[in-house]
């Protein structure tokens, strides 16, 4: 179990592989090299799980926290999408460097946003872990409302495919 969360960038080839089996595995918007698929990493049962972080949008302030979504600082810093959690292994991601120095203003803004997201997630660690584990358990036991289940990745199938992918690599 991690004592702190990690912000990671997931390997796009790995996501492409998973998407062959589950069309709910999200795509990156825009060019992959410019908009890395970044999220928070934590453990659920025997797997590391990646949950994508979304940059802030005006609609986030209006959304409610739900079983599969958590607003970060009331949406000011975006949201975490638990419905799109993906099981990962060490080779499927790299830790994002939040101490990186850059003169690129867009990249500086992204790094500061990620720092703020990580601060919130760390301060609300118990809520984040509880929410992710409850969603996982309800999905696994087929006890989610249909509309929520329909939004979720197939966690059990993706765990199997994660094992297969990482044996191939």
Q: Which of 24, 22, 77, 20 is nearest to 53 (CA)?
A: 77
* Strand ranges for 4-150 from DSSP E: 6-10, 38-44, 47-54, 69-71, 79-81, 86-88, 93-95
* Strand ranges for 55-156 from DSSP E: 69-71, 79-81, 86-88, 93-95
Q: Per-domain residue ranges for the chain?
A: 6-168
Q: Options 3.10.129.130, 3.30.379.10, 3.40.91.10, 3.30.1490.20; which CATH number does 6-168 get?
A: 3.10.129.130
User: Around 76, how many Cα atoms within 13 Å sit in the side-chain half-sphere?
Assistant: 6
151 in helix, strand or coil?
Answer: helix
pLDDT tens digits for 42-72? Answer: 889 889 999 999 999 999 999 999 999 999 9
pLDDT band at 5 (very low <50, low <70, confident <90, very high): confident
pLDDT tens digits for 80-138? Answer: 999 999 999 999 999 888 898 889 998 899 899 999 999 999 999 999 999 999 999 99
Q: How does 107-125 read in b/e, with b if 16+ C-beta sit within 10 Å?
A: eeebbebbebbbebbeebe
User: Residue 33: its pLDDT value, please?
Assistant: 46
């Amino acid at each position: 179990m991690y004592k702190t969360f990690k912000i990671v960038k997931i390997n796009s080839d790995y996501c492409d592989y998973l998407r062959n089996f589950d069309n709910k595995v999200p795509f990156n918007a825009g060019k992959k090299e410019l908009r890395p698929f970044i999220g928070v990493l934590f453990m659920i049962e025997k797997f590391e799980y990646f949950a994508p972080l979304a940059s802030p949008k005006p609609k986030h302030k209006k959304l409610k926290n739900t079983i599969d979504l958590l607003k970060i600082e009331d949406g000011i810093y975006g949201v975490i999408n638990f419905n799109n959690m993906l099981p990962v292994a060490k080779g499927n991601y790299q830790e994002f460097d939040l101490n990186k120095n850059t003169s690129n203003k867009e990249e500086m803004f992204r790094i500061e946003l990620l720092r703020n997201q990580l601060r919130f997630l760390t301060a609300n660690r118990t809520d984040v872990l509880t929410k992710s584990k409850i969603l996982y358990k309800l999905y696994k036991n087929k006890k989610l409302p249909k509309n929520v289940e329909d939004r979720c990745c197939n966690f059990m199938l993706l765990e199997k495919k994660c094992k297969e992918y990482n044996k191939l690599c």
